[in-house]
Structure 1
């Protein structure tokens, strides 16, 4: 897991595949004005633009085919993270949606992300985003990066 400011994204080109392409996409597009939904970026990378009413999410998710780069554009959000070996009560893997859901975690870390920050999750990072911060509405971009 990596947490940092979006202005530093290019520094992770050797760590996060496509960091340069994602940075270019963010520079060329107004993230606040982007329509909600899926947008193709480059090299198999796509982004889901989400407007969320944050709540008390308690469900962890993990992926096999994609890394997640979750960027907070407006608002703030808490996210939990654990290694998948500490995730509990996992359901069946959904191949089409590329996710497995877990009900809880044995050991977890919590981070608080604000507008202009990102969290990068690898396939072995079970993560629980969407936990209410100090604002009730969050615009976020979730970049899906092929493994």
Structure 2
């Protein structure tokens, strides 16, 4: 997992893998106020962005997930979001096994979950072994707008 602020990206981008650079450059260079929610290709089906407006939920109401094919880069546009994170190495067992077509397994309670408060302009890069619980609200129901860039790990 890697967390950053888009305002610092130009200073930090040289430390990132070229594929991750391309994904975060897209976040840095795009005016999302001009785009509607939906799917936008960046590098065909191997890298694309999903813009979404969602209702953030309490942790007890939101499953955690893990992907095997794609990395996720979560980028918050509006609102406040908390994202839970735990390494797969901590031994969590899925409550819903991996589905290849959807590229996820779902998890319930996590024994070593850490919470990261996200503010607009922050991004989080999540690797395939990162179990994550996005879309959380620590302050009650709230609406957030965000982008999730999906990056096929075969590009790396």
Task: Report whether the alignment pairs 1:19 with 2:20.
Answer: yes
Task: Report whether the alignment pairs 1:78 with 2:79.
Answer: no
Q: Which residue in 2 is equivalent to 1:136?
A: 142
For residues 28 and 6 of structure 1, the distance between their equivalents in structure 2, rounded to whole angstroms, comes to 10
For residues 16 and 137 of structure 1, the distance between their equivalents in structure 2, rounded to whole angstroms, comes to 32
Change (3 A) 1:129 1:50: same
CA drift at 1:140: 0.3
TM-score by length of 1: 0.88
Segment drifting more, 60-69 vs 19-28: 19-28
SS in 1 for 2:144: strand
Change (3 A) 1:4 1:98: same
Q: Between Structure 1 and Structure 2, how many residues are aligned?
A: 147
Q: Which residue in 1 is equivalent to 2:110?
A: 105
TM-score by length of 2: 0.83
Task: Report whether the alignment pairs 1:95 with 2:100.
Answer: yes
Q: Which residue in 2 is equivalent to 1:48?
A: 50
Deviations 1:2-50 (A, max 9, x none): 1110133352455445233234423543112311111101262101111
Contact 2:77 2:146 in 1 (8 A): yes
Segment drifting more, 94-103 vs 5-14: 5-14
Q: Which residue in 2 is equivalent to 1:2?
A: 2
Which sections of structure 2, spanning at least 5 residues, go unmatched? none
CA drift at 1:122: 0.5
Change (3 A) 1:143 1:101: same
Q: Which residue in 1 is equivalent to 2:34?
A: 33
Segment drifting more, 3-12 vs 65-74: 3-12
Contact 1:63 1:98 in 2 (8 A): yes
Q: Which has the higher strand share?
A: 1
